[in-house]
Amino acid sequence: MIVPRPTRLIRRHGRFALDRDTAIRATPGAQGAARLLRALLRPATGLPLPLHEDGRVVLALDDRLVGLGDEGYALTVNEHAVVLRAATRHGLAHGVQTIRQLVSPTAMGSRPVSGVDWGLPGVDVRDAPRLPWRGVLLDVARHFQPVAVLRRFVDLMAVHKLNVLHLHLTDDQGWRMPVPRHPRLTSVGGWRAESMGDGVPHGGSYTRAELAALVSYADERGVRIVPEIEMPGHARAALAAYPHLGNFPRRRLPVWTRWGVSDEVFGVDDAVLEFCRDVLDEVIDVFPGRHVHLGGDECPTSEWESSPGAFRRVREEGLAGPRELHGWFLRAMADHVAGRGRVPVSWEPIGDPRVVVMPWRDAADARTALDLGHDVVMAPHRSTYLDYPQSADPDEPAGQPGLVVTARDVYHLPLPEGVLGAQCALWTEYVPTAHHLERLAYPRLAALADALWAQRPSWTDFTERMRAHTGRLSALSVPLSRKEDDARSPVPPC
């Protein structure tokens, strides 16, 4: 009853007992997975699980393991041993999560559980994901969350073998990414006076050390981080810190205190482009992953249409008009990111096929992007935006008005042939706390994980497996609605 569903799981006779004499043997390169397994099982079981050359729980990197890709693993359990093999560290990390689920739902908890004979059932598992991009966007710009919350969010992603945390670091309402050459981005841009008239200041930012440690923490669990710096719109926090970056440099603006989209956008002179390159260079230094997200959505052009500097740039670049500055700006930044050996990402096509596109307005936009030669990650808001409530129940937390997105909607998100995968998005205008964050995320992220990992996704099968998995989520202290806590109704109604 594993979530997400393994490619192949065959039950065998016998059971492997876990006790105080159980030890782990890790081959070269597998020590990190051994540490992870010990750290995940010890809180509830109390078992020390030391490393020993004669350990009967064997974790091994095996480059001869074929057909399972970069994230697959093979697991064999019988009464004599547990053997987990994978070609990569991330494959081992995913296999560790399967071992954890096989032990018991109570083994997922953070407090000691007494009176339990811990063990694993006999199984033979060969497992690999159907799609390589299985992600979640977390918006820390609208409501800042400390690193401890991000680590827990990564832990819950890893349970479900989700492998991409898309971190939305900047927006009109806040700037969270430290850039040493531009310290006012966080000291000024990281704070707003209030939110929608509530009179309560809000803000915060990360240090470089915190982000670098988060990258390592996530990597150990098979999760990579894709940072996003919004441009050329959604820039009000940056303009509050450095007014000269705007289209009207003498204007002074506070960090925006409203939700929605501010009309103020970056200017288009050389100093602005140099600033954006500085920021991206810092991002690339802190986040070693392949992808860097440039934003690019919801960019009003009204300021460019009244800016002498914008019209001057239009003439210099031979553009048809100010509206074309949007694509021109993003292509310039994509060039810079690609020149640093990374892959740029944007919400919409910008005229550069090197850019990975995330269609969010309409699922049909994916076909256009694919035809233009883009790699595509699906993010259609009607089936992946988790700021929408997941039911119409009276106890449902406040969310973005206009839609209800159920777990079934997420499970059946459109996945055209040829896409890299998909991701959900947790925008946080209506999500001020970590409790609220997790309440909106689950069980919908479990549905996403199963739909993207399983070779033959089945909603009916998923709901059956969720009967056991709801117990795991409860042991992990994930806040669930009353319906979800009832094992007879493991997912919200459709």
Q: What is the CATH number of the domain that holds 96?
A: 3.30.379.10
pLDDT digits (tens, 9 = 90+) for 43-76: 999 999 999 999 999 999 999 898 999 999 999 9
Laid out side by side, the sheet with 73-77 consists of 8-17, 119-127, 73-77, 82-86, 57-61, 24-26
Q: Are 44 and 152 members of one domain? A: no
Residue 337's pLDDT is what? Answer: 98
Q: Are 339 and 412 members of one domain? A: yes
Q: Are 105 and 152 members of one domain? A: no
For residue 470, being part of any structural domain is answered with: no
CB contact at 8 A, 83 and 61:
no
Q: Where in the sequence is the domain holding 354, given as residue range(s)?
A: 133-455
- CA distances in angstroms from 170 to 36, 55, 190, 261, listed in the order given: 32, 47, 9, 13
Report whether pLDDT(427) > 80: yes
Q: Are 252 and 380 members of one domain? A: yes
Cα 153 to Cα 165: distance, rounded to the nearest angstrom = 9
For residue 467, being part of any structural domain is answered with: no
Q: Which of 394, 404, 410, 392 is nearest to 466 (CA)?
A: 410
Helix axes 89-103, 31-45, angle to 10 degrees: 20
Q: Are 164 and 296 members of one domain? A: yes
For residue 3, being part of any structural domain is answered with: no
For residue 478, being part of any structural domain is answered with: no
Report whether pLDDT(494) > 80: no
Q: Are 146 and 88 members of one domain? A: no
Cα 363 to Cα 369: distance, rounded to the nearest angstrom = 11
Pairing of strands 174-175, 170-171: antiparallel
Q: Are 305 and 362 members of one domain? A: yes
Last residue of a domain, one of 84, 111, 127: 127
Q: Which residues are catalytic?
A: 298
For residue 492, being part of any structural domain is answered with: no
Report whether pLDDT(31) > 50: yes
Residue 393's pLDDT is what? Answer: 87
Q: Are 167 and 51 members of one domain? A: no
- Start-to-end CA distance of the chain, whole Å, equals 22
Q: For all residues of the chain together, what is the average pLDDT?
A: 96
Q: How many CB atoms lie within 10 A of CB 485?
A: 14
For residue 67, being part of any structural domain is answered with: yes
Q: Are 112 and 150 members of one domain? A: no
Q: Which stretch of 229-243, 295-309, 475-489 has the lowest confidence by average pLDDT?
A: 475-489
Last residue of a domain, one of 421, 439, 455: 455
Last residue of a domain, one of 127, 146, 165: 127
Q: Which of 220, 238, 291 is nearest to 34 (CA)?
A: 220
For residue 400, being part of any structural domain is answered with: yes
Q: Are 354 and 436 members of one domain? A: yes
E-strand ranges in 235-322 read: 291-295
List CB contacts of 104: < 8 A, sequence separation 6 or more. 116, 118
Residue 396's pLDDT is what? Answer: 86
Local confidence band at 398 (pLDDT 50, 70, 90 cut-offs):
confident
Q: Full-prediction pTM beyond 0.85?
A: yes
Q: Which two tokens stand for residue 312?
A: 């001057």
Local confidence band at 482 (pLDDT 50, 70, 90 cut-offs):
low
DSSP 8-state assignment for residue 136: E
For residue 25, being part of any structural domain is answered with: yes
Report whether pLDDT(493) > 60: no
Report whether pLDDT(491) > 70: no
For the chain, the domain total comes to: 2
Q: Are 144 and 242 members of one domain? A: yes
CATH number at residue 144: 3.20.20.80
Q: Are 351 and 439 members of one domain? A: yes
- CA distances in angstroms from 452 to 15, 55, 137, 227, listed in the order given: 30, 34, 16, 22
Cα 139 to Cα 173: distance, rounded to the nearest angstrom = 11
